[in-house]
Amino acid sequence: MQSVVLERLRETLQSSDSLCFKNLNDSIQSAQPHTHSQQVPSSQTSSVQKSQTMPPQRGQSKAGQTSCLKQMDIGVFFGLRPLKEKEKEAESGPTEPGASFVPTLGENSRQRRQRRDRQRTSKNDTTGNTSQGTVIADSSDTVNAQGEARRGGSRGSRRRRWNRGNTGGEVGLLRCPFYKKIPGTKFAIDAFRYGEIEGITAYFLTHFHSDHYDGLTKNSTFPIYCNRITGNLVKNKLKVAEQCVHILPMNTLVTVEGVGVILLDANHCPGAAMLLFFLPNGETVLHTGDFRADPSMEDYPELLGCRVQTLYLDTTYCSPKYTFPRQQEVINFAASTAFELVTLNPHTLVVCGSYSVGKEKVFLTVADILGSKVCLSRDKYNTMCCLESEEVRTHITTDWKAAQVHVLPMMQLTFKKLQDHLARFSGQYDQLVAFKPTGWTFSEQVESVEDIQPEIHGNISIYGIPYSEHSSFLELKRFVQWLQPLKIIPTVNNGSWASRKAMEKCFSEWLMETKAKL
């Protein structure tokens, strides 16, 4: 039916130089009385989608206000703007950074080629401006972010990937955002997914989490700079060639391509490091990677002995709603709860959730207070051996019956799967308590460990504990106010204007509050 309607429109247009939009609309509706969505031919689909996703422009006319349009303006029916407005826009260029032209049906090949050239030039200009000067907060003058960046991730935003198409319409490599590069150097941070980046000769990896090493494979030939623990994981888990992995010591000033670098403990996961750069121009830059800010960092002699001008900040929880207990409080809660339950019923099996790397502090502390070993899968066991810690090695085993503390993947901490797991050891245990440590799920609900309540189903209890390896909002505030950087560049949740603006406001208020106290 759609093809018949379009054919009728085409014949009508050929017999007349102009057509009233109202009559055209009435004709379509009478032919398809029950159709609420328009099926657009493939030749026009991409144009319509681009138009629908464009932000509203000032002075834009609504299609319903047009009384009589030219033959070529049939595109208005499909959501496009009138041709006259497009011609004006084509002459003046896009009104906002990132705005794209929408091709009209009346363009010839030369006009389309010229339009594409103008659009490509506009995008390049916008990109250049973004990569050179975008910061979210400046202690003296706040600057608005101009470029769309990734998300997480958050992690959950986890993130937008920038693709660049070539003239043949093919999609090329992902484009590395500016906040993953250190200006004045040839360094990129956690940027392996973008392939070989022009102008970059040293690729730093802050820690071994997949959203940071994504893109690394056994065939990678990047010169990778990281600490020993992360290097062990890269070589053993990803099978990256040893000659590509350059190990840097912790808390020691080293020189990489003429730039001073110090790796500092990020209090995130095993091997996680913050990167402190001393640039040749005298500027000092701190990249936190993923980190959990802690008052102990205020005693780092490396940070006490310098003034950080630019801070690349992990802003996973940079919102006032994310207020949760300190990490050690949560660890103590899990350990004391497990001890109490096992004391009341010695036949209680304790389960802790974990990722490939992370949450180790919880299950190691619980096992220590119970005087038990920790049982891990063979893969997790091999991962833990990469930590090169004799203390850890003496606490772990792969014999499930030899340990009262079991570590399972986070996704397996459901009542059904835990019931199945308990059934495997029915001869030893008749009750199971599980700890699910994650900051994502519980951060908005729990401000104190006293608020933590278990979910109970029969003989299975699951405690969702607000244990995060990222900084809470108040911890970020304290860290920034102590460090007092001149610029703050967020590395997470920076993919929308609203999010950037909210973080910019926080940064400015924090720094102004600090100045007011001086």
Number of domains in the chain: 2
pLDDT at 25 over 90: no
| Mean of all residue pLDDT scores within the chain | 77
7 pLDDT band, cuts 50/70/90, is low
* Geometric angle at alpha carbon 380, from 378 and 385, rounded to 5°: 95
Beta strands in 341-459 (DSSP E): 348-354, 374-375, 396-397, 405-409, 431-437, 455-457
303-338 pLDDT, tens digit each: 999 999 999 999 999 999 888 889 999 999 999 999
The pLDDT value recorded for residue 518 is 76
Pick the range with the lowest mean pLDDT from 6-15, 407-416, 467-476: 6-15
Residue 334 corresponds to which tokens in the numbers above? 């899990």
Residues 458 and 413 in one domain: yes
The pLDDT value recorded for residue 355 is 86
Q: Is residue 94 part of a domain?
A: no
Residues 375 and 247 in one domain: no
Of 448, 465, 482, the last residue of a domain is 465
Looking at residues 429-440, what average pLDDT do you find?
A: 89
Helix (H, G, I), strand (E, B) or coil at 54: coil
Residues 309 and 330 in one domain: no
Report the C-alpha gap between 393 and 1 in whole angstroms.
Answer: 71
Sign of CA dihedral 498, 501, 507, 512: negative
The pLDDT value recorded for residue 115 is 58
pLDDT at 436 over 60: yes
Q: Is residue 377 part of a domain?
A: yes
pLDDT at 78 over 60: no
Q: Is residue 406 part of a domain?
A: yes
Residue 415 corresponds to which tokens in the numbers above? 């009542």
pLDDT at 59 over 60: no
Q: Is 297 left (phi over 0), alpha (psi -120 to 50) or beta?
A: alpha
pLDDT at 119 over 50: yes
Pick the range with the lowest mean pLDDT from 209-223, 303-317, 434-448, 491-505: 434-448
- The amino acid at residue 387 is L
The pLDDT value recorded for residue 201 is 97
Residue-number span of the structural domain to which 389 is assigned? 325-465
Residues 498 and 461 in one domain: no
Residues 205 and 312 in one domain: yes
- The answer to whether the pTM exceeds 0.75 is no
Q: Is residue 367 part of a domain?
A: yes
Pick the range with the lowest mean pLDDT from 82-96, 161-175, 446-460, 483-497: 82-96
In this structure, what CATH number is given to the domain that contains residue 383?
A: 3.40.50.12650
468, 317 contact by CB (below 8 A): yes
In this structure, what CATH number is given to the domain that contains residue 245?
A: 3.60.15.10
Residue 440 corresponds to which tokens in the numbers above? 């994502």
Residues 449 and 338 in one domain: yes
Q: Is residue 110 part of a domain?
A: no
Q: Is residue 373 part of a domain?
A: yes
Report the C-alpha gap between 233 and 18 in whole angstroms.
Answer: 69
358 pLDDT band, cuts 50/70/90, is confident
The pLDDT value recorded for residue 181 is 97
Residues 423 and 482 in one domain: no
Q: Where are the alpha helices (DSSP H) in 257-411?
A: 301-304, 327-344, 360-370, 378-385, 390-395
41 pLDDT band, cuts 50/70/90, is very low
The pLDDT value recorded for residue 109 is 53
The pLDDT value recorded for residue 100 is 36
The pLDDT value recorded for residue 67 is 39
Find the length of the chain.
518
Closest CA to 297 of 335, 268, 254: 268
Residues 334 and 283 in one domain: no
Residues 307 and 329 in one domain: no
Higher confidence at residue 123 or residue 296?
296
Q: Is residue 47 part of a domain?
A: no
Residues 452 and 484 in one domain: no
pLDDT at 431 over 50: yes
pLDDT at 46 over 80: no
Residues 217 and 312 in one domain: yes
142, 512 contact by CB (below 8 A): no
Three-state secondary structure string covering 188-201? EECCHHHCCCCCCC
290 pLDDT band, cuts 50/70/90, is very high
Report the C-alpha gap between 163 and 123 in whole angstroms.
Answer: 12
Residue 416 corresponds to which tokens in the numbers above? 């059904």
Q: Is residue 135 part of a domain?
A: no
pLDDT at 94 over 70: no
Pick the range with the lowest mean pLDDT from 2-11, 27-36, 108-117, 138-147: 138-147
Residues 441 and 481 in one domain: no
